[in-house]
Structure 1
Amino acid sequence: MKRIPILPTMLVVAAVAVMITLGLWQGLVRLPEKEAQLAQLAANPTRPPVPFPRGPDGSLLFRRSAADCRQVLGISRAGAGSAGYRLIAACRTEGGGAPIKVQLGTTRDPVREVTWAGGAVSGWISHAPDATPMIARLFNREPQEMLLVAATPAAGLTANTRPDVGIVPNNHLAYAGQWLFFAALAGVIYVVALRRRIGR
């Protein structure tokens, strides 16, 4: 009868332990944290307006805000899902500093252009589009840039979609299940392989 291989067994046990730890962390720590965040975001549209943030702050998503676009530096285009495309202006504001982004509205026309001279804008805070590839995001933990979504669209554009907390993903329960499943699968595969080895 062959002995149980010590090193491979230790490696599998360590890997299974790590996967179980990750599963429990996702389910017991990250899930409650995300649920608390979603509850805050769901209440944000009814809270008093705040000045548009000069830096990333995820806690302000969907809060009402306003800004004064003193100079339009350019207007870019980004995907807007079923709404087609959204047109986003880069604006210089009073006091200088980094330009802010203002989502002027949406259009289904892929070549639609809009003329906008700037001025006072009111709406709500969202995240600016991020073209960073998903793989790169795993190694880049920089906060996402903020965006002022105009409540009134620029002439010729369709109104922006109202704030919806449903667009914020909450996959931590699924992640927990996946890690625990992987741990169980790894354990079963190793036990089967071990029984075959010992039974030879």
Structure 2
Amino acid sequence: MTRRIPIIPTAIVLIAAAIMVRLGFWQLDRLAQKQDMLARFTAAEADRTVHPWPRGGIAPLGYTRLQLECRSAGPAQPEAGRSASGQSGWAQVVQCATPEGAKARIVLGWSSQPAPATWQGGAVTGTFVPKGEDVLVYADPPLAGLQPNARPDPRDIPNNHLAYAVQWFLFAAIAVIIYALALRKRLRG
């Protein structure tokens, strides 16, 4: 009696392995995109030119130095943060509305105590850091009598796409190997 290779389980394993390989190549594409984005952020960080914002609805490039006018600021909300010298403490963050109606979150500066800072609004110069749909600006110089916050650094953005790609390729290889061993055992048995 000859044993046959089961068609449906084989097809399922091969389709799953193909999907995993495709996900690995997708992660390699994401790696190239992330490296390009980080290179643009690093170039923007090196440019110390201050750009006015908002400007015609155009979102600033991450790590660009910009200046905005905060027409009204909400109460400061302390969040965990680091000072320019590396101390743990509190970043004082306010919601801000510009005269043009744009919204931004402003990191006013750093303090060792969680007591909210008082700031009513005004001119802000700082570094824009993209956080999803939010406009987040780290004030430089700090405002409201606070100490300087740690400068945002694009090199702190994780770039794990190569590791993810290797994982997907390994998952595909392991799935095929385990299935091949099981199939070999079945065909011998």
**Structure 1 residue 11 and structure 2 residue 1: aligned?**
no
Query: Within 2, Cα distance between the matches of 1:16 and 1:84?
Result: 47
* Normalised TM-score (structure 1): 0.81
> How far has the Cα of 1:156 moved from its partner?
4.7
Flag structure 2 segments of 5+ consecutive residues without an equivalent: none
Structure with max Cα Rg: 2
Which of 95, 113, 118 in structure 2 is aligned with 1:115? 118
What is the letter of the counterpart of residue 123 of structure 1? Answer: G
Are the aligned partners of 1:125 and 1:147 in contact in 2 as well (CA < 8 Å)? yes
Q: Is the 8 A contact 2:125 2:140 kept in 1?
A: yes
Whole-Å separation in 1 of the counterparts to 2:7 and 2:81: 55
Within the candidate set 98, 104, 110, 1:106 is matched to 110
Give the corresponding residue for 2:39.
39
Does 2:68 align with 1:67?
yes
SS in 2 for 1:78: strand
Q: Deviations over 1:41-69 (max 9, x none)?
A: 11102333323348794x61110001111
How many residues of Structure 1 are paired with residues of Structure 2 in the alignment?
A: 182
Secondary structure of 2:31's counterpart equals helix
Higher strand proportion:
2
Per the TM alignment, residue 3 of structure 1 is displaced from its structure 2 partner at its CA by 1.1
Shift of residue 98 of structure 1? 4.3
Unaligned runs of 5+ in 1: 129-142
> Is the Cα contact below 8 Å between 2:78 and 2:115 reproduced in 1?
no
Partners of 1:6 and 1:191 lie apart in 2 by 13
Q: Is the 8 A contact 1:53 1:146 kept in 2?
A: no
Q: Is the 8 A contact 1:56 1:144 kept in 2?
A: no
Aligned Cα RMSD in Å?
2.2
